[in-house]
Structure 1
Amino acid sequence: MHGWLLITPAFVMLSAFAFIPSISSLWTSLFSRGTRRNPSEFVGLENYQTLFGDPTFWLVAKNNLFYAGVTIPASIIFALIMALWANSKIPARSFVRTAYFTPTVLPMIAAANLWLFFYTPSFGILNQIGSLFGMDSVNWLGEPETALWAVCMVTIWKEAGFFMIFYLAALQTIPPDLKEAADIEGASRWTYTRRIVLPLLMPTTLFILVNAMINSVKLIDHLFILTKGGPSDSTKLILYYIWENAFAYFDRPSAAAMTVMVLLLLGVMAAIQFTFLDRRAHYR
């Protein structure tokens, strides 16, 4: 009884905001789109079949795969580099840590507006800098070839500082005796980092990897400010497409079907990560 009482608050919160909405989405995805004249009917897996035949869905899935493939490794690598530097004995170390963490405390809407000023054609900071070197003005958010890269840059800039905090906390738990022993053995800084620091950071890396994977399908706030999914759906991501179907087109069953697919995909990927990578991370 004591154990059940301890988990009750977490169970109530998870039920209200995770379990019940997930079951509701699954149930909604099995019905047709209803109107006042034509109420929704049970159609089974028809919404999923329609979804697989939708070319826009596959374009959005491709965009999200590219978005995740760029933002996840880049955010982790930059976070690790920043943490290693912020943890070393450098002048103004507190200022460096604060500077790295500052983008994290900004709301994504504010960050998107800031980068919108950077990306403005002709007058943006990036184009102003490029003009100093004789480069032509680029419409970063208006060209399909550059728009998704521009969105990825905003995410990397926003997420790297957040992940750095976890790496920095993990680095401070590494016993200094290991560094002293490595120095006595004549190990270089690169050897110490590769052989000792990185293996000890694997549990933290696994935790960050799971969070980065979730964020790759969760962060869409900046799309409303920067591109609204354009141009030509080149920056439309899966969660934005779900929102668009549910609240712009009022097609809740299709949105629910996509939601269920995202949940299943995230669950499978998390299970794989914790099953195979967790053993390597904790040396089992």
Structure 2
Amino acid sequence: MNHYAEMERRRQHMYGWLLLTPAAILLTLFAFYPSVATLWESLFSKGTRRRPSEFTGLENYSDLFNDPTFWIVVENNLFYAAITIPASIAIALIMALWANSKISAKGFVRTAYFTPTVLPMIAAANLWLFFYTPDLGVLDQIGALFGFESVNWLGRPETALWAVIIVTIWKEAGFFMIFYLAALQTIPADYKEAADIEGTSRWTYTRRIVLPLLMPTTLFIVVNAMINSVKLIDHLFILTKGGPSDASKLILYYIWEMAFAFFDAPHAAAMTVLVLIVLGIAAAIQFTYLDKRTHYQ
């Protein structure tokens, strides 16, 4: 009896490993190995034909911390994240609550909200480039009707990053709305009926029942929004290319520029490692602290 039980246990273990193998192979090839290779490359100097690369330890990281442009980019990205994450989540929640309510043309409203999401970022950036073009753009045309002067929205340091932020919020809000809309439809209708019987207002019902039940979804969206805040660079190539004077340059664009424009792969690798460390710390906080406080047992 023990022999057959041991064989069954081994067979179950084998099935488990077989199921894990495809995912393990993909993660190794496209996540673990690139991460280790990037970390290793960040410890060497930039090599040339005449002078091969040498092991320099943490010198590349020291160079980054002493680079004024690096800190400008970090500040830009922190400001970019601080605005786009809460704004896009708040707008997505409002849109989801409205799209889930009893309104006419509900399907059209949901489609209209989700349409920006299906557009490629390059196409969306070109669309907004038409809005921002000085004199000829939609914004300046509307401003001219009220006597406002033309503004070079993408060519001024004061407005360039804000212009990029608006495009991101417009693009991201519809995507996050889908998650909220799916979560809203899982809330039992009995809760709303009970609240109506008790005479609870719509605002109180939303604040005391709906929003707490949406917290797991909100946490998931926050993590995705945080990741997107350091990985979306497509629109920068079309809109500003990081200018003017690095006013709209973000960390991933700077990594690309360092690696493929300046051909300085070690410093680009060092910046990539720093981004991975920050995202890893954020993920650890999510799984060890916030996740326990947002799920109801």
1:151-182 per-residue CA deviation (whole Å, 9 max, x = no partner) reads 00000000000000000000000000000000
1:92-171 aligned within 5 A: 92-171=105-184
Match of 1:262 in 2: 275
Match of 2:7 in 1: none
- Identify which of 223, 243, 254 aligns with 1:241: 254
Is residue 2:83 matched to residue 1:70? Answer: yes
Match of 1:40 in 2: 53
Is residue 2:188 matched to residue 1:188? Answer: no
State which structure, 1 or 2, has the greater radius of gyration over its C-alpha atoms.
2
How far apart in 1 are the matches of 2:269 and 2:26? 21
Identity score, percent: 80
Paired residue secondary structure (1:42): coil
TM-score (norm 1): 0.99
- Identify which of 218, 231, 242 aligns with 1:229: 242
Counterpart amino acid of 2:115? T
1:22-62 per-residue CA deviation (whole Å, 9 max, x = no partner) reads 00000000000000000000000000011100000000000
Shift of 1:275: 2.1
Shift of 1:113: 0.2
Paired residue secondary structure (1:209): helix
Match of 1:197 in 2: 210
Paired residue secondary structure (2:229): helix
1:95-126 per-residue CA deviation (whole Å, 9 max, x = no partner) reads 00000000000000000000000000011101
Gaps of 5+ in 1: none
Q: Could you say what the CA RMSD is over the residues aligned between the two structures, in angstroms?
A: 0.7
Match of 2:72 in 1: 59
Match of 2:6 in 1: none
How far apart in 2 are the matches of 1:131 and 1:11? 58
Paired residue secondary structure (1:43): coil
Gaps of 5+ in 2: 1-13
Counterpart amino acid of 2:202? R
How far apart in 2 are the matches of 1:83 and 1:36? 57
- Give every structure 1 segment of 4 or more consecutive aligned residues whose post-TM-superposition deviation is greater than 6 Å: none
1:183-239 per-residue CA deviation (whole Å, 9 max, x = no partner) reads 111110000000000000000001000000000000000000000000000010000
Paired residue secondary structure (2:252): helix
Shift of 1:273: 2.4
How far apart in 1 are the matches of 2:50 and 2:20? 46
Is residue 2:97 matched to residue 1:88? Answer: no
Number of matched residues?
284
How far apart in 2 are the matches of 1:261 and 1:33? 18
Shift of 1:274: 2.6
TM-score (norm 2): 0.94
